[in-house]
Structures are given as C-alpha cells and as structure tokens.
Structure 1
C-alpha cells in the first residue's frame, strides 16, 4: 500500500518514535538471547549490536517504503559467515533473527496504535514485516549453509594437510603437538599408521568415516583422511571392521613424531594384502615374511625358476607334484595328512615328493629348501591371484 500524503506524516512519527527506542530494545533482546540461546553467549556484544542495527534499519526502511527487497538484495553474507565462525548453528541464528523481527513488529504495532495510525496501513506494514522475516530467513539459511560448507571444506583441507605432513615426516615436533591438540590426539600415546582402499562397493569417503568410527570406539584416538588415492591416518589400535569392505595395511605402534616410519610399513602391508587378494586389516604379525615376497620380485623369480618351473615340463603330473609339495609344507611334513586330504595312497605322495626332488635337484629335508620353496609357492599364489595384476610389484604404495 502506497502512503498517501495525509498518512505519510503520522507514519514518519511512528518510525521516529521507534528509532528512539532502538538501543533500549536492542539491550533487552541481547539479554534475552544470551539467556535462552547458549550459542549466542560466545558472540561479542559489539557484533550483536552491529547486526541488530542492520536489522532495525532495514525494518524501518520497509515500513517507510511498504515493499520488501528481493532475496538477492539482502547483504546477509557477512552476518551468516560471522555466525558460522562463532559456532552459532543455523537453527539458533534463525531463531534469533525471527525474535529480533518479532520485537520490531511488536514495537511498530504498539507505536502505531498509540498514535492512531490508519488501521489499514498498520495491517499493510505489519504484513510487510512478516514478509521481510520470511524472505530474509530464506536468504540467511542459504548463505549460512554456504558458509558452513566452506568452513567444513577448509577444515578438511587443514586436516588433510596435517596428516600429510605427519605421515610423510615433514612436520616439526611443535607442529605435531599443535595439530594433535586440535584433532584430539594424545602425543604421549603410541599410534599406528593405517592405509586402506575399498574392497567392494564402499565409496572412499564412506570408508574414511567408517574406519575413523571403528578406530575411535572404546575411547581410543583416531584421525583419518583421503590421501593419495587411499584412506590414510593414525589409530591407537587395530580397528574391528566387521563386514566392512576394505583392505588395509596397519603399521607398528610409534610415537606421533615417528608416525612416518609406521606409515611406510603400512604401505608395504597394504600392497601385500592387495597382492594376495585379502580383505580386512593386516599388520606384520598377520602377513609375516609374505610381505617380503611382494617387495622382492627378483628373488621371487629366481625361486620360481629353481623350484616350480621345472615341474611344468611334467604337464598335469607336475601340477599334482606341486599340490603334494604344498600340502607337505602346510601339514607340517606329515605325509599321511597330505594323503588323507588329497584322497590318495601315502605311497603316491611319497613318489610325488621324490619326483620333486629329482626334478629340482633339492632335498625337502634341507631347512633352506623349506624356506625357499614356501617363498616360491607364495609367489606362485600372487601370480594366480584375482587381484590387480599390476598390484603385486607396483611401487605406488610401497613408498
């Protein structure tokens, strides 16, 4: 409703009376916010006064013009960012804003009624203030969410930068202790570096959150991020992952200042677990010497040539020899157990083992033969594994 010349003066008197009460009303509102919205207790009084002044002046402009600005004309970005920076949740910010506009609306109605402003004009301007509340609330919500998203992204980057420096050994002791305080790690405790990749349909981001959740159970510390195409970080203890689709390497316990050594070990363990097509979280006690099979492909080739490739000339019988030799080692050199598992006579097993010794020129009773043959069989397992064919000797995770 446009203001006719006869109503303009009374409306200006109402607006002037309201302006006189801005400071008093703001002080009362500030006390109310601090008393009923805990997140506002940490917001400086000067900032609240500035925000209140902005809201009050905008409301008076709307009362005078009888129109509400378009959403894009609201300069709420700074206000929303300030609220987010002060840790004020969006719900609290909107509650405070509506409370402020409600106080302004009540003041307008009281002053307009006292000065007998035209009832139609009172209704029209009150409706404008309601519309101002709705439009501004939507704008505040949108900008606040943008500010929260930007803040979360910045925090994620800082978190990743801290972990990258920690795991690659580029941080000073002071930087490690400072970051530990920020991210809830205890420098007096040992941590184990972990490096993981999805095994199945789980997304990397979901894997990161799940591993950190499992790592933090029972009051333990954990901090993870996405790093160099893997989920990486530190945990206090081996995570209990249940059915989570993951393959991970877990380094040995170390002080945070030596976490980069544990991280290198975790990379080697992850590479080995992937090469053997395993699923779960593995440390050195799980994989033992098999880690070295992955790390030493040249030695694996030598032992394959010595112990297994001579069997290939025997065709299908050579495969049976390899099966019996593998069973012989797996069953603690008990020939009867090998025969029972393979459903053959013990003399058949003895013949296959003798033939193995003839073809390779070795003795199964020699200690070196048991070690080297186990190594060669593990290398053969890698070659027939359904895992990534480039994974077992790839340098990408071995770093």
Structure 2
C-alpha cells in the first residue's frame, strides 16, 4: 500500500491543503498547550513556532513517503535541553508532542476525507503517523533524560562553585547576592558554616542528602555540597543527625558575606571532634576550650610533662592519683563527692591529692593549676584520628 501506483497526485493535493493550514492549526495548538499545560506558558511563542514547523514538516514527509525515520534521525537534543533548562517535565514534553501529532493526524483525516483519498492509503498513512509518534516519543524521552542529567550536573557544579567561593571568601558582594537569590538564601538572616565527614560506610553524597533533608522538612534552609571527601556548606540551624554516622563542626552564626570565618571555625571544631573520637555535630559551645588543646600540641606536651608525667614513675599508684585529681576537678573540687564515687575513704582521696602536689610541685588551690591540669587531662584524652577524609581547608 505504501507504494500504491497512482496515489501520488491525490495525496499531494491533501498534503498541499494541510501545508496551507499549518499556521492556523499551530495557533490552535499553542492556545491548547497554554490552557492545559502551565509549564509551557513561559516558552516564547517564536520558539514554539519553530518546533511546530519542524514537527509539521516531518509529518508531511512521512505522509508523502510512507516511511518513518529511524530513532537516530530525530534531532531533538536542542529541544530537550531547552525544556530541561526551563523546568518543563518530561511528561509535559511528551504530552505536547502527542497533542501536536494528534492535531496533524486530525487535519490529515479531514483533508483526506474531503478530497476522497483512497481509504486504504488513509489507513496506511495514519498508521505511519502513529508509528512516528511512537518512535519520536522514545527518542524525545531519551534525549530529554540525557539533557536533565546534564542540566543537573551543571547545576551541581554551579552550586559547588558558589559554595566554594562563599566558604573560602573569594566571592564579590554582587556574586553573593546573585547566588543567594538563585539558591534561596535570605541575605537578612544569619547562617552557620558546617563541615562534616562520614563515618563507617556512609559516602559523602549520601551524607549531603541526609543532612539537607531534615532541614528542608523543618523549613530551615541548608545549602551543602561535596568538597573532596567531605561535605560543607551553610545551614540556618544545627542539623539533626539522629543515628547518622557523621562527625561535623558547626561554625558560629554570621551573615553570608563573612561565612568564610564561620567555615574556618567549623574546620577547627571538626578537627577537635575527630581528635576526641566524637560522633555528631559540635559547635564551640560543645567543645569550648578543648578546641585549643587540639590546636596547640606543643603546649599540650608541655603541660603533660608538668602535670601528669611525674605521676607515671609511681606506677599503679600514680594512675590512681591521676584518676583522683581528674574526679576532683569533675566534681567541682568536692573531696567527699570524689570519695563517694570512687568508694574510698575521704582521707584516701586527701592523701592522693597531696601526693599529686608533692610529685608535681603544683598547688591544687591555685587557679593556674586548675587550668593547666584540665588542659593536660584533656590532652591525655586525645587519640590519633582514624584514617578517613579530612576536612576541606580554606
């Protein structure tokens, strides 16, 4: 049937009549799309006209030749990229294409009937139009998904570049303003920089999603990205981690223009939390002066030499002395509380504290001793951080 002799002249008259109505049918189609598909309202009319012309001419060629192009012959990449960039869902793109083909089919049937085209040829060419719709839809779906993936990767790169510049302090005021508008950050509100590393089998990509999702559910803005093997960004409030295997440092609240300062603090807090083997999200209020213990290893060594290493020569008794002075500080220097918790006599505690003073030459009544001993005990708690991703440094 597709090569039926003598059918060319009547078919050409039908095609010519259809071609004369291209603009009129296209206008009706545009109105229909605007009414029923809101995502298409933002697409310029001239662009829609170009795409309609392409679909219409291709359909006329199929009607004339009776053959459907192979999938690879459909060049829809430019359309798919444009629709993805404009946020048009794939489902809307396919619906719009189907509506266009349906309009062309209805026009063909009307003109074929009016001009008495052979019924067998009408059925054949109508079948060709449906085959065209199927083949083109598959190709449109494929290139649209490719365009969506490419667009998502491009968006992720732009977001990462914006956050990297924000956290490292390399953005201009104009760039901060435009980025904030693009990513929904409120310039009038304070944000806190966060740096997090996954523990266990949790990867950085999953960690990013896990930290962002609770914030969105709670209506708190969080903008994060993967930097190396860590996750970094800005949040409105301290994230809820629950059972999430993560260690994170949370910088102080600040405006976006000075987020890089909060980011530096977040990095120091993360280093401290990891050094103490902690899990969770920690800010300066959680770790306080212990951050400085990690940051000043030389001073920590000096105070260990002064406060605790003299006890080591006493063997097991020295360990008991250290345990007692630690409890003495933790219990607010109440000897009876120390004795009760250790299940020993008060005089035993007094003797151990006196031996500490004798061995170190320090007085537990002196304020400097309390500070230096607390520092040394905190340094004693430190352990070598496990191998894993390091915090991104400014």
TM-score by length of 2: 0.94
Counterpart of 1:157? 157
Question: Where does residue 276 of structure 1 map in the other structure?
Answer: 276
For residue 335 of structure 1, what is the aligned residue in structure 2?
Answer: 335
**Could you list the runs of 5+ residues in structure 2 that have no partner in the other structure?**
none
Shift of 1:206: 2.3
**How much has 1:278 moved relative to structure 2?**
1.2
Asked if structure 2 preserves the Cα contact closer than 8 Å seen for 1:268 and 1:397, the reply is no
Distance 1:34 1:7 in 2: 38
The residue number in structure 1 matching 2:198 is 198
Compare 15-24 and 211-220 and name the one that shifted more.
211-220
How far apart, in 1, do the equivalents of 2:388 and 2:201 lie?
21
Tell me which residue corresponds to 1:371.
371
| Partners of 1:308 and 1:205 in 2: CA distance | 43
Which segment drifts farther, 18-27 or 335-344? 335-344
CA contact (8 A) 1:197 1:230 kept: yes
Separation (CA, whole Å) in 2 of partners of 1:269 and 1:241: 17
Which runs of structure 2 are paired with 1:13-24 in the superposition (5 Å)? 13-24=13-24
Displacement of 1:353 in angstroms is 1.9
Q: Please tell me whether the aligned partners of residues 2 and 124 of structure 2 are also in contact (alpha carbons under 8 angstroms).
A: no
Asked whether the 8 Å contact 1:250–1:281 carries over to 2, the reply is: yes
Q: Does the aligned pair in 2 maintain the 1:270–1:397 contact within 8 Å? A: no
- Kindly report which structure 2 residues correspond to 1:227-306, keeping only aligned pairs within 5 A, or say none: 227-306=227-306
Note if contact 1:187-1:255 (Cα within 8 Å) is conserved in structure 2: yes
> How far does residue 230 in structure 1 lie from its aligned partner after superposition?
1.8
Gaps of 5+ in 1: none
d(CA) in 2 for partners of 1:247, 1:337: 34
Q: What do residues 144-192 of structure 1 show as CA deviations (whole Å, max 9, x unaligned)?
A: 1111111111111111111111111111112211211111112222221
| SS state at 1:195 partner | strand
Residue equivalent to 1:64: 64
Q: CA deviation at 1:47?
A: 0.7
Q: Which moved more, 1:184-193 or 1:212-221?
A: 212-221
How far is 1:114 from its partner? 2.6
3-state secondary structure, aligned to 2:281: strand
Specify the SS of the correspondent of 1:42. Answer: coil
The answer on whether the counterparts of 2:228 and 2:392 sit within 8 Å (CA) in structure 1 is no
Deviates more, 1:290-299 or 1:213-222: 213-222
- Tell me the TM-score normalised to structure 1 length: 0.93
CA apart distance, 1:216? 4.3
**Is the partner of 1:79 in helix, strand or coil?**
helix
Partner of residue 166, structure 1: 166
Shift of 1:127: 1.3
Quote the Cα distance in structure 2 between the aligned partners of 1:217 and 1:237.
Answer: 13
SS in 2 for 1:149: helix
How many angstroms apart in 2 are the aligned matches of 1:34 and 1:350?
87
Tell me the equivalent position of 1:92: 92
Q: How does 1:212-223 map to 2 (within 5 A)?
A: 212-216=212-216, 218-223=218-223
